Amino acid sequence: MTINERVKVIRKSKQINMTLEKFGERIGLKKNSVSQIETGTNALSEQNIKAICREFNVNEDWLRNGTGDPFNEPTDGVEALLEEMKRETSDEFYRAILELARTYQQLSDSSRETLREFGRKYLANMNRCDTEQTKTPIPFRLISYYYKNASAGTGKLIIDNVPEDDIEIPDIPEYRNVSYAIGVNGDSMEPTYQDGDILLVEATQEIRIGEIGIFQVDGEAYVKKLGETELISLNQEYANIPLDESARTMGRVIDKLNV
């Protein structure tokens, strides 16, 4: 049995018997995070292990290695916590915790629960902050941007084919073939593309029937879906554009840039 499987055993044990959501609340995790731990998708952090053992009086040796009994002998939770603090912290910190513990013992049951709930929410917030700080930043790269030069309407002339600006896009595998960005002008491709959207385009003349691309007909550029003999508008209020000898493909639309 793995350590992840032992977490599930603890959660579903007769002593605990909690839902994923309730169990996660006690240790500062979301329901999905607990599920991913139990299935082995995610590993347990040291903080997770300490929280499980502290909150549910779990034998840490058993949780880590399967050694001994799953649960420790029943003890006063405050005394157990103080003993751990005494072993692992400075004298000054221990004395501060001891004073807090004495105050805690003088509280009513409802006040104790309020304090515990505050602690659980604080721990959950700290876990979220740690997760956000450890996320790997996504790199970006620059591509040429033609502002509102792809017509989703009656046509838009590209003058000299010179980009008006550069724009940053995420440097991710899905965008590996993106060559340039172009702005949508008009609403003939609604609801898929709106006026002002920024399209990420792969510069290619090879595009399949049914794909959306950037096309030039009689010197005017369009964003349309390629048909057998015409360029198709998704908005039925607009007529399709017949293909003729002047038509050429300028690229395949890969995605819409979220800004």
The boundaries of every CATH 2.10.109.10 domain in the chain are: 140-256
Residues of the chain with CATH 1.10.260.40: 3-134
**Is a pLDDT exceeding 80 seen at residue 146?**
no
pLDDT tens digit sequence for 110-123: 777 887 787 777 77
CB 184 within 8 A of CB 195: yes
pLDDT attached to residue 155: 41
Count of beta carbons in the 10 Å neighbourhood of residue 103:
10
pLDDT given at position 158? 43
Window from 151-165, 192-206, 227-241 with minimum mean pLDDT: 151-165
- The string of pLDDT tens digits covering residues 192-225 is 888 888 889 998 888 999 999 988 888 788 889 9
- For the record, the structure tokens of 236 come out as 């039925």
Confidence of residue 180 (pLDDT cuts 50, 70, 90): confident
Q: What rounded mean pLDDT belongs to the chain?
A: 81
Q: What is the mean pLDDT of residues 36-47?
A: 92
- Topology of domain 140-256 in CATH is Umud Fragment, subunit A (2.10.109)
Out of 8-22, 115-129, 171-185, 228-242, least confident range: 115-129
Among the ranges given (37-46, 48-57, 78-87, 195-204), the one the predictor scored with the smallest mean pLDDT: 78-87
Q: What is the pLDDT of residue 222?
A: 86
What integer is the mean pLDDT of 30-58?
A: 91
Beta strands 140-152; 180-186: pairing state: parallel
Would you say residue 154 has pLDDT above 60? no
DSSP element (H, E) containing 242: strand 241-242
pTM of the model: 0.45
Extract the tokens encoding 208.
């399949």
Say which CATH architecture domain 3-134 belongs to. Orthogonal Bundle (1.10)
pLDDT higher than 90, residue 64:
yes
In sequence order, the 6+-apart residues with CB closer than 8 A to the CB of 60 are: 49, 53
